[in-house]
Each structure stands twice: as structure tokens, then as C-alpha cells.
Chain A
Amino acid sequence: MILFEHVGLRYGIGPEVLSDIHFTLEPGSFHFLTGESGAGKTSLMRLLYLGKRPTRGLISMFGENINSLNRNQMALMRQKIGVVFQDFRLIDHLSAFDNVALPLRIKGINEKDIRVNVEELLEWVGLGDHIRALPSTMSGGQQQRIAIARAVITKPKLLLADEPTGNLDENIGLRLMNLFEQLNKMGTTIVIATHDMHMIEQFNHPRLALDGGKLEVKEPSSWIKRKIENVF
């Protein structure tokens, strides 16, 4: 579903932040994206959510070379992608409700359905009491949950989350990870960038590991362990 070939990215005239990235993501797969701070996780995410074009190489998504798309086709492709930004990027003057409703409004869903779905989801992420609150009046963890709700409200084909559980206590973090698992079982392809080794170990998913601008795909550690156990 997603194919990167010899992809490189640089900002302006700076050095290549990502170089010669090569990988494929199968539909319905679940990957963690790891790497130390500054390794380029957010940059790779930007390529994935079509927020930037690569400086070299080929990216193909949903079976189409993204270089051949016009603006409207790009927009349609973005509608299939849900993103949780590292810095949330909520719209300040819109309430929690309107922020989460935004992707649905962009898709032209009718207001009645929007209302039902958004309220239900906000309830589910524990923000039922804050439906009309502005993001600026909410805690980091609450904002993060709005950002997650906004990313999943359209049931996207591809879900990208950049440090989605960073500000959350373990309980809610786990609950949201379970939400991601559930979406994944329903067919959503998921990439989650994270530092959280604890979480990585807890869930049994392969890793896209960034180091020095290069990317390496690593099978889940527990899976490797099991494999080794099977050998003996």
C-alpha cells in the first residue's frame, strides 16, 4: 500500500535528514517508528501524510505515484490519512467538538451524523464533559486526546501518530493504544512514532528504526524471542 524507494529529504540547503529510505507497508500492517530525538521520525511522518515532497526518490501510496497527483487528487488522498501531530496542531478558536468534526466537515458529511459520531468519540476518549471547551483551556493530555480523536474520526485507511501517548498517563495511554489496535484489526494501516520502549515491548509489532538518516525494518523483539524458542 505504501512504497518508498531511495527516498531522500532535506530542508532547504541543509544536509539530508533522511537518505535512501526504502520500505513497504502492507495494508493492515502496524509499525512502530523509532529513533532517537532528531533522527527524523517527524520528517518521515511528513512524507507519509503528504505534508512534504521528497527531495529525491519515489513514493507510492494507495497504488499511485504521489508525484503524478494534482492538487485535488492530493487532497483526496489526504482524506484517507489520519494524523496525530507531535504538537497536536489543534485549531485554537474551535471547540473540542469542532476540532474533531473538522475532517468530517471537509469530507462533506451531514451535521447530524457529525454530531452523533463526534460526541460519541469524545465521550469515549474521556472528554464528554469538555465538548465545548477550547483547546487552550485544556491540559496537554486532554489536547492530545482531541488530536487523536480528530485523527481517527474518519476511520482512515492510514493512521499516523507522532508520539501519541507522550503526555498521557499509563491508563489512558493503554486505552488509546487499544483503540489503535482495534482500528488496525478493522483494516487501518498504522504507523506510530514513539520513544516509549515499554509500549513497544508490550505490543507485538515490527519496528521502522531510524538511525543516521537510514531506515531499518526490525521484526518485533518478542516475535524473535518466540522464534528462537521455537528453534530450540
Chain B
Amino acid sequence: MKLYKKEAFIGRAKQRRFFDLGIHNSSGSGFLALLIGLMTFLAVLALATSFALSAMAERWSHSLSNQITIEIPATNTSKGILSTEDIDNITTKAGKILSRNNGVESVEIKTRKEVEKLVEPWLGEDLDLRNVPLPGLITVTLKETDEHVITGIRNSLKPLSGSIRIDTHESWLSDLLSFTSALQLAIFLIGSVIGATTIIAVAGGVRSKLSIHYEEVEILHLMGAFDTYIAKQFQVYAFLIALKGSVIGAFSAAAVLFLTALLSNDIAVTLLPDFELSTTHMVFLCLIPLMAAILAAIAARKTVMKDLLNMV
């Protein structure tokens, strides 16, 4: 009797079971976990890329949005080609006028050396640039981007030279933004496909479990179990399987991201200058496994509740 009590106690501790149905120990769970792991892996990578992209776009547009570039062209419609001295002259005058403008934060006149550096890639290093007329460039940082200020600048510079051009970077920025939002859309679509695949996989897995354990499910029904009682077991099962798979998947993705960041810091600095994630984004990425598990649980519940309607 004593022995039995002890045995029962150990038995309880070990066997405290949640599943009335043997869904956790029949085959097929490993495949589902693996699939969900892969899906999570892809989802984390896609989302991280998306976050990094938007952060990058945000930073670029922020740093450029208050900047305009004033160009004093080397050719002038009325006078033909201007001399270097003329251009310097106009540029300096323009700089003075700009500094007096209330809407302007700072003015930076590019020296001829800097301008040479800028055109070098297009003209080649061998070319002697000393006699080539180069435009004057002034980078102006505005206090805020405002049409009136820009119009004011345009008008104040007109007397100096009719051909002065003001580049507000707007077209370049809008190209950049539409490019990144196209990428975002693509990533969103990929994410949706990943989500749909997960749902379909879970539904299929649960359905096969349901048919394997048909008899047991029927017994539960005959003892008066509500559909929700049975569905709950599949829900918990799907949740745990998905959590297991997705935690592993997310960790693998994190490792890949970490390596990518490391490599990009080493060699591709100029290509991926801003590939880093904010803390909020990190937290969000960490929540993906949990979301995958919840998604799996919901998919399992919906599938089971629907299929049980065909049973006694």
C-alpha cells in the first residue's frame, strides 16, 4: 500500500498530462515544427529588412529634407562660358545674400577643389581640370523646408545671374521613398505569404492529427465533451509546437542578421551605412515567435471547430 502511494505520487508528477488525446506523441509534429521554424526564420529576416529600410529612408530623408543646393552654372545663356573668376565672384555674392536670409540655418560654399572632386568620377582623373569651367556650388541648410523661403531665395539670387539653379533634392528624395515603399510592399507581400503558409500548414497538420485520433475524439464527444474542450487540446498542441519551431527559427534568423551586420560593418560600409535596428524594432522581432504561436493556435482552433461539426 505504501509502495503504491509513492508510485502514484511519482506517477502524478511525471504524468500530469494536459492532453486527453495522444496528439503530442503521434508523428508529424516534427515536420510542423520545422516548417514553422523556417517560416519564422524568413519572417524575421523580411521584417528586419523592412525595419532597416524604413529606418534608412527615414534618416536619409531627414538629413536631406532641409538641404538645398544652389548651382551657379559655368555656362550662362547670355554671356556664354563664364570665367572661373566670374563664377567665384557670383558664388561669393550669392553666399552673402543667402547668409542674410532669415530662413537659412547655414551656408557652405564648396571650394573649387571640392567641386573638382565631385565631377572627377564623371570626367576621369587624368583630365586637367584647371581650365575647365566648373559650376559653383553652395549647400544651404534651411531652418525648415518652406516654399516661401525657397521662393525668396530664388528671387534674391535672380539679379546675380539668370541661370542660377536651385535643387531641393525633392525628386531624388521622392524616388528614394517610392523605391523603399515598393520594397516595403514586396516585404509585406512576402510576410503575408509566410503567414498564409503557416496557417495552411497548421490546418493540414491539425487535420491529419484529427483523423489519426478520430476514435479518441469520438469517445470524448460521447462522454459529453464540448467541441471547445476538444479544440482546446489542439490549440495548446499547435501553440507549443509553433512556439518551439519559431523560437529556433527566430534565433537562427537573429544569428544571420548579426553576421550580416558584422560583415557590412567590415566591408560594405558605404553600401549599407545604416543597417541597424532600434530597440522597439528588436522587441517587435522578438515577439514574432509568440505571434507565430498565437497564429498557429488560432488556425488550429478554427480548423478543429469546423471539422468537428462533421462528427457525432
Contacts and interface: CB of A to CB of B under 8 A. Distances in A.
A103 B223 contact: yes
A91 B15 contact: no
Contacts of B221: 75, 78
A76 interface: yes
B7 interface: yes
Chain B interface size, under 10 / 10 to 19 / 20 to 34 / 35 or more: 20 to 34
B311 to A, nearest CB: 10
B229 A106 contact: yes
B4 A129 contact: yes
B152 interface: no
A89 B215 CA distance: 8
A198 B213 CA distance: 38
Interface in B215-250: 215-216, 218-227, 229
A75 B225 contact: yes
B312 interface: yes
A94 interface: yes
Interface in A87-133: 89, 91-95, 97-98, 102-103, 105-107, 119, 128-129, 131-132
Contact of A76 (B22, B224, B312): B224
Contacts of A52: 312
B231 to A, nearest CB: 12
Nearest to A92: B22
Interface residues of A, number: 32
A142 interface: no
B310 to A, nearest CB: 11
A38 interface: no
A109 B154 CA distance: 83
19 contacts: A51-B222, A71-B227, A72-B227, A75-B221, A78-B223, A81-B224, A83-B222, A83-B223, A89-B215, A89-B219, A91-B21, A91-B219, A94-B17, A102-B20, A119-B8, A128-B4, A131-B11, A132-B7, A132-B15
Interface of A: 49-52, 71-72, 75-81, 83, 89, 91-95, 97-98, 102-103, 105-107, 119, 128-129, 131-132
